[in-house]
Amino acid sequence: MDERFSRSVSQAYRSFHGELLRFLRKQLGSSADAADLAQDAFAQWLKSSSRHEVEQPRAFLFQVARNLLRDHWQRSRRFTSEPETASDTDQQPAAEGGEPVVQFERQRYLRELSRALESLPPRRREAFILHKFDGLSQPEVARRMGISLSMVEKHVASALLHCKRQVQGEGEA
């Protein structure tokens, strides 16, 4: 294994493992599953055929983790024998044990939220996702994106309002 490559992965592990674990735990609600997926993310990076230097290791790891989450949710959906439609393929399955109507409403809500996020301007969506889903503080988002804290606050507030309106059906007006 290339010494420089393994040093890069090792440095990323020390820098981002805790953050990746918190992100996965928040998404999965399980420390054990989060630890497994975090380990899988680093293992995939180590097994990758391209041994080139990753310019943004945090972004790379979180993308791998998102892909692993999607695969995890799809496997869970198969095992719980929930019907899967084309529009559901990127959605998290509803909680186990819920009533069918509740599960349907949760899936509908997630689809609406996904559409609302997709309709945001790219920079606003990025700021919102970094803050709400990746768990970065607003000052961290400002530094990461190279914008002012005030602009991050505006992006997040505007995105929240937009998503609320879209999900509640007020966006068609």
Answer with the residue of higher pLDDT: 6 or 30: 30
Query: What would the pLDDT profile of 88-104 be if each residue is shown by its tens digit?
Result: 444 444 444 457 777 77
Which class is domain 99-173?
Answer: mainly alpha
Question: Which tokens go with 173?
Answer: 């007006």
Query: What would the pLDDT profile of 123-157 be if each residue is shown by its tens digit?
Result: 999 998 888 888 889 999 999 999 999 999 999 99
Residue 139: the pLDDT is: 92
Answer with the residue of higher pLDDT: 92 or 112: 112
pTM: 0.43
Q: Are 72 and 59 within 8 A, CB to CB?
A: no
Q: Are 68 and 45 within 8 A, CB to CB?
A: no
